[in-house]
Amino acid sequence: MAFTIFLFFIGFYILIKGANFLVDGASSIAKFFNISSFVIGLVIVGIGTSIPEFAITLVDHITGAGDIGLGTIIGSNTFNILFILGITAIFFTLPFKQEWVQRDLKWNMAAIAAAALFVFLFSKGEISRFEGSALIGLFLWWLFVVIKKTNHTVEDERPVKVVAFPLAFGLILAGIVGTILGGEWVVDGAMVMAQAFGVGESLIGLTIIGIGTSLPELAVTFTAAYRGRSGIAIGNIIGSNIFDFLMILGVASVIYPVSVSSGFTIDITMTILAAALLYGFMFIGKLYTLKRWQGFVFVFLYIIYILYLYATIAA
Protein backbone atom coordinates (compact mmCIF):
# COMPACT_ATOMS: atom_id res chain seq x y z
CA MET A 1 0.00 0.00 0.00
CA ALA A 2 2.70 2.51 1.03
CA PHE A 3 4.92 1.57 -1.92
CA THR A 4 2.02 1.95 -4.38
CA ILE A 5 1.24 5.42 -3.03
CA PHE A 6 4.96 6.26 -3.33
CA LEU A 7 4.85 5.22 -7.00
CA PHE A 8 1.71 7.38 -7.35
CA PHE A 9 3.73 10.54 -6.65
CA ILE A 10 6.81 9.40 -8.58
CA GLY A 11 4.48 8.70 -11.50
CA PHE A 12 3.38 12.34 -11.60
CA TYR A 13 7.00 13.49 -11.90
CA ILE A 14 7.78 11.01 -14.69
CA LEU A 15 4.54 11.97 -16.42
CA ILE A 16 5.50 15.64 -16.53
CA LYS A 17 9.07 14.94 -17.71
CA GLY A 18 7.77 12.55 -20.35
CA ALA A 19 5.36 15.20 -21.60
CA ASN A 20 8.23 17.66 -22.00
CA PHE A 21 10.28 15.14 -23.98
CA LEU A 22 7.28 14.28 -26.17
CA VAL A 23 6.51 17.92 -27.00
CA ASP A 24 10.17 18.73 -27.73
CA GLY A 25 10.61 15.72 -29.99
CA ALA A 26 7.32 16.19 -31.82
CA SER A 27 7.99 19.89 -32.39
CA SER A 28 11.42 19.13 -33.85
CA ILE A 29 10.02 16.43 -36.15
CA ALA A 30 7.36 18.88 -37.39
CA LYS A 31 9.99 21.54 -38.17
CA PHE A 32 12.46 19.02 -39.62
CA PHE A 33 9.97 17.74 -42.22
CA ASN A 34 8.12 21.06 -42.51
CA ILE A 35 4.92 19.31 -41.42
CA SER A 36 2.14 20.97 -39.51
CA SER A 37 2.64 20.39 -35.78
CA PHE A 38 -1.11 19.78 -35.58
CA VAL A 39 -0.72 16.66 -37.74
CA ILE A 40 2.21 15.50 -35.60
CA GLY A 41 0.04 15.99 -32.51
CA LEU A 42 -2.95 14.39 -34.19
CA VAL A 43 -1.21 11.22 -35.35
CA ILE A 44 2.07 10.56 -33.48
CA VAL A 45 1.34 12.16 -30.11
CA GLY A 46 -2.41 11.50 -30.11
CA ILE A 47 -2.02 7.79 -30.83
CA GLY A 48 1.05 7.45 -28.62
CA THR A 49 -0.69 8.84 -25.55
CA SER A 50 -3.67 6.52 -26.18
CA ILE A 51 -1.59 3.37 -25.69
CA PRO A 52 -2.69 3.04 -22.01
CA GLU A 53 -6.37 2.97 -23.05
CA PHE A 54 -5.52 0.46 -25.79
CA ALA A 55 -3.74 -1.90 -23.40
CA ILE A 56 -6.36 -1.70 -20.65
CA THR A 57 -9.28 -2.20 -23.06
CA LEU A 58 -7.74 -5.24 -24.77
CA VAL A 59 -6.69 -6.90 -21.52
CA ASP A 60 -10.11 -6.25 -19.97
CA HIS A 61 -11.92 -7.53 -23.07
CA ILE A 62 -9.80 -10.66 -23.59
CA THR A 63 -9.97 -11.66 -19.92
CA GLY A 64 -13.67 -10.80 -19.68
CA ALA A 65 -13.03 -8.74 -16.56
CA GLY A 66 -16.08 -6.52 -17.06
CA ASP A 67 -16.88 -2.97 -18.09
CA ILE A 68 -13.56 -1.38 -17.18
CA GLY A 69 -12.23 -1.26 -20.77
CA LEU A 70 -15.24 0.45 -22.34
CA GLY A 71 -15.61 2.69 -19.32
CA THR A 72 -11.98 3.71 -19.75
CA ILE A 73 -12.55 4.74 -23.39
CA ILE A 74 -15.72 6.69 -22.65
CA GLY A 75 -14.38 8.26 -19.47
CA SER A 76 -11.10 9.20 -21.16
CA ASN A 77 -12.81 10.90 -24.11
CA THR A 78 -15.17 12.92 -21.92
CA PHE A 79 -12.26 13.93 -19.69
CA ASN A 80 -10.14 14.85 -22.73
CA ILE A 81 -12.63 17.35 -24.10
CA LEU A 82 -14.34 18.76 -21.03
CA PHE A 83 -11.52 18.82 -18.51
CA ILE A 84 -8.22 18.81 -20.43
CA LEU A 85 -9.23 21.28 -23.14
CA GLY A 86 -11.30 23.16 -20.58
CA ILE A 87 -8.58 23.62 -17.97
CA THR A 88 -6.00 24.41 -20.68
CA ALA A 89 -8.25 27.07 -22.25
CA ILE A 90 -8.67 28.72 -18.84
CA PHE A 91 -4.92 29.36 -18.71
CA PHE A 92 -4.11 29.61 -22.43
CA THR A 93 -6.63 30.61 -25.11
CA LEU A 94 -6.49 27.87 -27.74
CA PRO A 95 -6.57 29.01 -31.39
CA PHE A 96 -7.86 26.44 -33.90
CA LYS A 97 -7.45 26.54 -37.66
CA GLN A 98 -10.46 26.29 -39.94
CA GLU A 99 -9.17 22.99 -41.37
CA TRP A 100 -8.99 21.42 -37.91
CA VAL A 101 -12.57 22.42 -37.17
CA GLN A 102 -14.12 21.48 -40.50
CA ARG A 103 -12.27 18.18 -40.85
CA ASP A 104 -11.04 16.73 -37.56
CA LEU A 105 -13.66 18.00 -35.11
CA LYS A 106 -16.32 16.59 -37.44
CA TRP A 107 -14.43 13.29 -37.57
CA ASN A 108 -14.28 13.31 -33.78
CA MET A 109 -18.08 13.58 -33.56
CA ALA A 110 -18.51 11.00 -36.33
CA ALA A 111 -16.24 8.47 -34.57
CA ILE A 112 -18.25 8.63 -31.34
CA ALA A 113 -21.58 8.61 -33.19
CA ALA A 114 -20.56 5.56 -35.27
CA ALA A 115 -19.65 3.56 -32.17
CA ALA A 116 -22.88 4.64 -30.45
CA LEU A 117 -25.02 3.64 -33.47
CA PHE A 118 -23.39 0.21 -33.65
CA VAL A 119 -23.98 -0.34 -29.94
CA PHE A 120 -27.49 0.97 -29.37
CA LEU A 121 -29.20 0.89 -32.76
CA PHE A 122 -27.88 -1.77 -35.10
CA SER A 123 -26.74 -4.53 -32.76
CA LYS A 124 -28.58 -3.42 -29.62
CA GLY A 125 -25.88 -3.68 -26.99
CA GLU A 126 -23.04 -5.27 -28.94
CA ILE A 127 -20.36 -4.34 -31.45
CA SER A 128 -19.92 -7.27 -33.84
CA ARG A 129 -16.77 -8.29 -35.68
CA PHE A 130 -18.15 -6.80 -38.89
CA GLU A 131 -18.90 -3.51 -37.17
CA GLY A 132 -15.48 -3.57 -35.52
CA SER A 133 -13.92 -3.96 -38.98
CA ALA A 134 -16.00 -0.99 -40.15
CA LEU A 135 -14.64 1.12 -37.26
CA ILE A 136 -11.06 0.17 -38.18
CA GLY A 137 -11.82 1.02 -41.82
CA LEU A 138 -13.10 4.45 -40.80
CA PHE A 139 -9.93 5.07 -38.78
CA LEU A 140 -7.68 4.12 -41.70
CA TRP A 141 -9.72 6.33 -44.04
CA TRP A 142 -9.40 9.29 -41.63
CA LEU A 143 -5.65 8.69 -41.37
CA PHE A 144 -5.38 8.62 -45.16
CA VAL A 145 -7.33 11.89 -45.46
CA VAL A 146 -5.17 13.60 -42.82
CA ILE A 147 -1.88 12.56 -44.46
CA LYS A 148 -3.04 13.18 -48.03
CA LYS A 149 -4.47 16.63 -47.37
CA THR A 150 -1.70 17.86 -45.09
CA ASN A 151 -0.22 21.07 -46.40
CA HIS A 152 3.27 22.23 -45.61
CA THR A 153 2.21 25.45 -43.95
CA VAL A 154 3.72 25.64 -40.48
CA GLU A 155 1.52 27.24 -37.85
CA ASP A 156 2.28 30.71 -36.59
CA GLU A 157 3.61 29.56 -33.22
CA ARG A 158 6.58 30.39 -31.04
CA PRO A 159 9.99 29.50 -32.50
CA VAL A 160 11.28 26.10 -31.50
CA LYS A 161 14.84 24.83 -31.40
CA VAL A 162 15.20 21.97 -33.87
CA VAL A 163 17.38 19.10 -32.68
CA ALA A 164 18.87 16.35 -34.84
CA PHE A 165 16.37 13.82 -36.19
CA PRO A 166 17.70 10.81 -34.19
CA LEU A 167 17.53 12.84 -30.98
CA ALA A 168 14.04 14.12 -31.81
CA PHE A 169 12.88 10.55 -32.50
CA GLY A 170 14.47 9.40 -29.25
CA LEU A 171 12.73 12.21 -27.35
CA ILE A 172 9.37 11.09 -28.76
CA LEU A 173 9.97 7.46 -27.72
CA ALA A 174 11.21 8.51 -24.28
CA GLY A 175 8.25 10.83 -23.92
CA ILE A 176 5.71 8.15 -24.83
CA VAL A 177 7.34 5.64 -22.45
CA GLY A 178 7.53 8.24 -19.70
CA THR A 179 3.93 9.40 -20.03
CA ILE A 180 2.62 5.84 -20.18
CA LEU A 181 4.77 4.59 -17.28
CA GLY A 182 3.99 7.63 -15.18
CA GLY A 183 0.29 7.38 -15.97
CA GLU A 184 0.28 3.68 -15.08
CA TRP A 185 1.84 4.31 -11.68
CA VAL A 186 -0.59 7.13 -10.99
CA VAL A 187 -3.52 4.87 -11.93
CA ASP A 188 -2.21 1.99 -9.80
CA GLY A 189 -1.97 4.26 -6.78
CA ALA A 190 -5.42 5.68 -7.40
CA MET A 191 -6.88 2.18 -7.80
CA VAL A 192 -5.47 1.05 -4.45
CA MET A 193 -6.89 4.10 -2.70
CA ALA A 194 -10.25 3.77 -4.48
CA GLN A 195 -10.65 0.09 -3.64
CA ALA A 196 -9.94 0.93 -0.04
CA PHE A 197 -13.13 2.99 -0.15
CA GLY A 198 -15.12 0.26 -1.98
CA VAL A 199 -15.67 2.05 -5.31
CA GLY A 200 -17.50 -0.03 -7.97
CA GLU A 201 -15.99 -1.44 -11.20
CA SER A 202 -17.88 0.64 -13.79
CA LEU A 203 -17.25 3.84 -11.85
CA ILE A 204 -13.54 3.00 -11.63
CA GLY A 205 -13.39 2.68 -15.42
CA LEU A 206 -15.33 5.88 -16.11
CA THR A 207 -13.51 8.02 -13.58
CA ILE A 208 -10.27 6.80 -11.98
CA ILE A 209 -8.88 4.77 -14.89
CA GLY A 210 -10.51 6.92 -17.56
CA ILE A 211 -8.95 10.00 -16.00
CA GLY A 212 -5.72 8.23 -15.11
CA THR A 213 -5.07 6.98 -18.65
CA SER A 214 -5.71 10.52 -19.90
CA LEU A 215 -3.00 11.97 -17.69
CA PRO A 216 -0.50 11.68 -20.59
CA GLU A 217 -2.87 13.77 -22.75
CA LEU A 218 -3.31 16.27 -19.91
CA ALA A 219 0.43 16.62 -19.38
CA VAL A 220 1.21 16.89 -23.10
CA THR A 221 -1.63 19.30 -23.89
CA PHE A 222 -0.92 21.67 -21.01
CA THR A 223 2.84 21.60 -21.64
CA ALA A 224 2.38 22.20 -25.38
CA ALA A 225 -0.04 25.09 -24.78
CA TYR A 226 2.36 26.64 -22.26
CA ARG A 227 5.11 26.50 -24.88
CA GLY A 228 2.88 28.02 -27.54
CA ARG A 229 2.53 24.80 -29.55
CA SER A 230 -1.24 24.90 -29.99
CA GLY A 231 -1.12 22.44 -32.88
CA ILE A 232 0.28 19.67 -30.68
CA ALA A 233 -1.94 20.66 -27.74
CA ILE A 234 -5.17 20.38 -29.76
CA GLY A 235 -4.12 17.64 -32.18
CA ASN A 236 -3.13 15.39 -29.27
CA ILE A 237 -6.67 15.45 -27.85
CA ILE A 238 -8.55 15.06 -31.14
CA GLY A 239 -6.25 12.31 -32.42
CA SER A 240 -6.51 10.43 -29.14
CA ASN A 241 -10.33 10.57 -29.16
CA ILE A 242 -10.64 9.37 -32.75
CA PHE A 243 -8.13 6.56 -32.13
CA ASP A 244 -9.98 5.47 -28.97
CA PHE A 245 -13.42 5.06 -30.51
CA LEU A 246 -12.44 3.79 -33.96
CA MET A 247 -9.23 1.80 -33.57
CA ILE A 248 -9.37 0.54 -29.98
CA LEU A 249 -13.03 -0.46 -30.06
CA GLY A 250 -12.59 -1.76 -33.60
CA VAL A 251 -9.65 -4.06 -32.75
CA ALA A 252 -11.32 -5.28 -29.55
CA SER A 253 -14.52 -6.11 -31.47
CA VAL A 254 -12.67 -7.98 -34.21
CA ILE A 255 -10.99 -10.16 -31.57
CA TYR A 256 -14.34 -10.84 -29.90
CA PRO A 257 -17.67 -8.94 -30.13
CA VAL A 258 -17.90 -6.24 -27.47
CA SER A 259 -21.00 -6.34 -25.27
CA VAL A 260 -22.10 -3.00 -23.87
CA SER A 261 -24.45 -2.66 -20.91
CA SER A 262 -27.31 -0.18 -21.15
CA GLY A 263 -25.82 1.65 -18.18
CA PHE A 264 -23.33 3.32 -20.55
CA THR A 265 -26.05 5.11 -22.55
CA ILE A 266 -25.83 8.33 -20.54
CA ASP A 267 -22.02 8.26 -20.60
CA ILE A 268 -21.73 7.86 -24.39
CA THR A 269 -24.37 10.57 -24.81
CA MET A 270 -22.28 12.86 -22.61
CA THR A 271 -19.21 12.22 -24.77
CA ILE A 272 -21.16 13.03 -27.95
CA LEU A 273 -22.53 16.23 -26.40
CA ALA A 274 -19.02 17.28 -25.31
CA ALA A 275 -17.68 16.81 -28.86
CA ALA A 276 -20.66 18.67 -30.35
CA LEU A 277 -20.26 21.52 -27.84
CA LEU A 278 -16.57 21.86 -28.72
CA TYR A 279 -17.51 22.16 -32.39
CA GLY A 280 -20.27 24.69 -31.63
CA PHE A 281 -17.97 26.85 -29.49
CA MET A 282 -15.78 27.41 -32.56
CA PHE A 283 -18.49 29.68 -34.01
CA ILE A 284 -19.31 31.72 -30.90
CA GLY A 285 -17.44 35.00 -30.53
CA LYS A 286 -14.01 34.91 -32.13
CA LEU A 287 -14.09 32.19 -34.79
CA TYR A 288 -12.09 28.99 -34.31
CA THR A 289 -10.91 29.82 -30.81
CA LEU A 290 -11.56 28.04 -27.53
CA LYS A 291 -11.83 30.95 -25.11
CA ARG A 292 -11.32 31.18 -21.36
CA TRP A 293 -15.02 31.43 -20.48
CA GLN A 294 -15.71 28.36 -22.63
CA GLY A 295 -12.98 26.53 -20.72
CA PHE A 296 -14.80 27.34 -17.48
CA VAL A 297 -18.03 25.97 -18.98
CA PHE A 298 -16.30 22.73 -19.95
CA VAL A 299 -14.77 22.21 -16.51
CA PHE A 300 -18.07 23.03 -14.81
CA LEU A 301 -19.94 20.50 -16.97
CA TYR A 302 -17.34 17.84 -16.19
CA ILE A 303 -17.67 18.41 -12.45
CA ILE A 304 -21.47 18.15 -12.74
CA TYR A 305 -21.09 14.91 -14.73
CA ILE A 306 -18.76 13.37 -12.13
CA LEU A 307 -21.11 14.36 -9.31
CA TYR A 308 -23.97 12.76 -11.24
CA LEU A 309 -22.00 9.51 -11.60
CA TYR A 310 -21.25 9.30 -7.92
CA ALA A 311 -24.84 10.19 -7.02
CA THR A 312 -26.13 7.45 -9.34
CA ILE A 313 -23.79 4.84 -7.91
CA ALA A 314 -24.59 5.88 -4.35
CA ALA A 315 -28.31 5.61 -5.06
Q: Per DSSP, what are the bridge partners of residue 126?
A: 259
pLDDT of residue 310 exceeding 50, the answer is yes
A 10 A CB-CB count for 140 gives 13
Quote the CA–CA distance of 87 and 77 in Å, as a whole number: 15
> What mean pLDDT is predicted for residues 265-288?
92
> In whole angstroms, what is the distance from residue 41 CA to residue 109 CA?
18
Interatomic CA distance for residues 116 and 249, integer angstroms: 11
**pLDDT value, residue 150:** 62
CA distances to 89, 120, 188 from 233, rounded to whole Å, are: 11, 32, 26
pLDDT value, residue 136: 95
Which superfamily, per CATH, for 37-160+198-314?
A: NCX, central ion-binding region (1.20.1420.30)
Ranges of beta strands (E only) in the chain are 94-95, 126-127, 258-259, 289-290
Angle, in degrees to the nearest 10, between helices 106-117 and 129-148: 170
Model confidence pLDDT, tens digit, residues 134-172: 999 999 999 888 877 765 444 444 445 556 667 777 877
26-30, 242-246, 263-267: lowest mean pLDDT where?
26-30
pLDDT tens, residue by residue, 195-228: 676 666 556 656 776 777 777 788 888 988 988 8
